[in-house]
Structure 1
């Protein structure tokens, strides 16, 4: 029997992806150079290319990781065993948290990526659009459950309300770069939600 060629990888691929994600998040795709990624991941050029292919492929892995984390968070917040309005409030509270202080000034990798690449990079565009659709679907589902329970205000249509909420949240992520106070963000969220629920 022949043994496999080459040495086994001596590093944690997921940890490397997470460190690369932090660099792309801070600098943007075009602002990130290969030396930045080598420093962050502590990999040699050869190891990085052997593991990930190239900068673009590593970026897609990092973006997939960010999206997977965000979807897992939403699955928890919108757990169907919970009251849908409580889930929606938890979801929105998470955005207030992520748009406050240093977190807010750092911004959102997905929003930044959509602005930088979605119109010119098909792979990125598909991922961003897919995530937006998944977000909207989960919010619409929670609102539909709330409507069935008689918790929505008269005339509120779940799919339209979900679209409004998603657009609002992405706007909130952009405004957060100007460092509004947590109280300001929470009051804005509360005012919008009050339009939708009884």
Structure 2
């Protein structure tokens, strides 16, 4: 089932929710119509499972970047570097399933909207925790409030996702990330 969800996620990611048809999902999941319905229910239910998978993968990645046993500033740099990498060149053109979903469905589908908003809230909490630990260690610039800086950083990386669709040069995105983080940390 995990492999089928992964393959369905790839289809939704490349086509979007509305442009993905049942035959696309049947081919991708390698399930018959009846098996797919029995395992996942309708298209919307399968999409929610795929979106949950994408969110879980992103949160797992952030857990590693923001491991509390590691230096929080190094974690913030790794977090931003990961976004720069995923949003530059051909990787950036692929885009982000979560951002594409937010644009396509979040305003019309309450369940999707809750998941997207929940992910952004969880991301902001992880960034704020790292910034709070950096502040406690004396590594934040004077006057920087972790909650406000976390909100700005989350908005910045999601903006990178949108701009990434134009395949910007990695060096430009990295320079922007470095300049922004340089405003927050010593």
Task: State TM-score, norm by structure 1.
Answer: 0.93
Q: SS in structure 1 opposite 2:106?
A: coil
Match status 1:124 vs 2:80: no
Where in structure 2 are the equivalents of 1:110-189 lying within 5 Å?
110-189=98-177
Higher normalized helix content (fraction of residues): 2
Q: Which runs of 5+ in 1 are unaligned?
A: 1-12
1:160-182 CA-partner distances (Å, limit 9, x unpaired):
00000001111110000001011
CA distance in 1, matches of 2:89, 2:3: 26
Runs of 4+ in 1 over 6 A off after TM superposition: none
Query: What is the aligned partner in structure 2 of residue 85 from structure 1?
Result: 73
* RMSD over aligned Cα atoms: 0.6
1:64-101 CA-partner distances (Å, limit 9, x unpaired):
00000000001111000000000110111110111122
Query: What is the aligned partner in structure 2 of residue 60 from structure 1?
Result: 48
Query: What is the aligned partner in structure 2 of residue 43 from structure 1?
Result: 31
CA distance in 2, matches of 1:113, 1:145: 32
- Say which one has the larger Rg: 1
- How much does 1:43 deviate? 1.1
Query: What is the aligned partner in structure 2 of residue 9 from structure 1?
Result: none
* Alignment length (residue pairs): 186
